A and B are shown apart, each in its own frame.
Chain A
């Protein structure tokens, strides 16, 4: 429990809570309209009235960042879910099949998983986006499939570790059916490292999703999204630094917080 009370952990928890509020109830933090701008107030530097300044159309950047949290975080979460479910299932089946019926299957599948890990995730995500069409959800699918390999590897390693434990052997000897052993005994005990990995991958996914949105394959322009916000500030980098630096800093803060929590989940006992 003491690890949960470390100052960095508390700050990270607060950041994640703030993210949840931004994603589900953005009006609480930024009551304004993210799409409405006052042309007279264009490109104002940060001030008490406009915390993050305003963009070239006079829209409040802080409001846009807060309202953009939903798309950015939802796409990243969807990516981790897709990767976790697909990869986890592959790893679980391979780990369970090894040594019984499918040592050869396990070997072949895991070599493909190695390749999936070796291919840069962003390229894999881009080929998915090019095939499916643009938008945050095809980005999520692409990033998720790119992460599936790592999930499969760690899940398999955990299943193999747990399978050797005495309570699993005991359950098998007592006559619990193999599927029952897998669901009741192996899966819950293998879950923690996979969850830590999922938290770590969430940070990576936020980065990948915002990078691909930055490249222009995410949401259509007026809707706010973190990567797209940085991208639209690019043309004003010489004069209006706040358009890129402040949304960028938000991404950095969220990724650092999530990564920090992933460490805590991974090491807590």
Chain B
């Protein structure tokens, strides 16, 4: 009974946080669309039938009602929020189909690309970080650390087009476009893996540097362990934990990156759905996709939070003295959070 109580106290706030993220995302997108000038329904109609067409007022009213865009702003807000709670993301202004169905139809294609990209990106950066830490020559270590920022600076559409030109047209190894065959996933995933791997690498290498400067690594080196053993047994395990936090950041990049990558490789997927929705000025679909991405992001954050005690025994409740657990939970927050957390102390002192 007491166990269930502690579990609830641990899980409860995290679940609340999850609900908040989804609600806040909905609110932000709703405000964004309504505050900016322009009527989404009229814009969508204008794209469909040209600017000069006269719109039948009754038809317009019917369309507004179908899209949940009738009535006052507050009514619209609450109506769409109520629908959101039941898993309804509204209907598309361009096609009239439910947004949920449109998204569900294309999710598998995007998931395959994004999942493979995550595996390739994270795998490559772990190998690179390993080499950058144990390479015997300083210039090689410096060079390897300098490489990943390049991965962020190269636009995904350029990487994609170069990959197509080399592997599809010059070598003829892999298909350039489409999503029919299984190996068509490979090139888009590699394209997406560049920025994702680069971001993960930067978080990972920072965590490695931090672990390397710690007392237990000093001890391990002092007692004569080899470079590889110190890295594998002490540095790697301690650096992986904080790096897991960056998975939320990576999901954001993956979701945003699909728009470009799926266009370059002409694949069906969430990104293509968004791009065609922008072309049709179909705001409801884009809003739906953003909310779905927020749900995935918040779910991932929730799982990461809940898995900490499983990965790190120091964070298990009742296992260690609270004094030892508290600072380590905060030090694994992502960099910007850590910044604001560390700046709160002098401020609190000043406020008194």
Contact = CB atoms under 8 A, between A and B. Distances in A.
B162 interface: yes
A74 interface: no
Interface in A189-240: 203, 207, 210-211, 214-217, 227, 230-231, 233-234, 237-238
Contacts of B274: 123, 126
B346 A215 contact: no
B259 interface: yes
Contact of A160 (B252, B275, B347): B347
Tell me what chain B mostly uses at the interface: helix, strand, loop, or mixed: helix
B98 interface: no
Contacts of B256: 120-123
B301 to A, nearest CB: 8
Given A121-B256, A215-B260, A252 B158 contact: yes
Contacts of A80: none
Interface stretch (A19-27, A39-47, A127-135): A127-135
B347 A248 contact: no
B283 interface: yes
Interface in A131-162: 131-133, 145, 150, 153-154, 156-158, 160-161
A231 B156 CA distance: 12
Contacts of A131: 32-33, 36, 38, 40, 43, 281, 283
A: contact size bracket: 35 or more
B350 interface: yes
B154 A252 contact: yes
Given A131-B38, A245-B158, A123 B150 contact: no
A132 B37 contact: yes
Contacts of A215: 259-260, 263, 275, 278
Contacts of B351: 99-100
Interface string B150-166: 10111111100110110
B286 A132 contact: no
Interface centre among B28, B158, B298 (most CB of A within 10 A): B158
Contacts of B157: 211, 214, 227, 230-231, 248
Contact of B153 (A165, A234, A255): A255
Interface in B318-334: none
A93 interface: no
A116 B346 contact: no
B347 A161 contact: yes
A81 B150 CA distance: 25
Interface of B: 20-21, 24-25, 27-29, 32-33, 36-38, 40, 43, 149-150, 152-158, 161-162, 164-165, 169, 248, 252-253, 255-257, 259-260, 263-264, 274-275, 277-279, 281-283, 286-287, 289-290, 293-294, 297-298, 336, 339-340, 343-344, 346-351
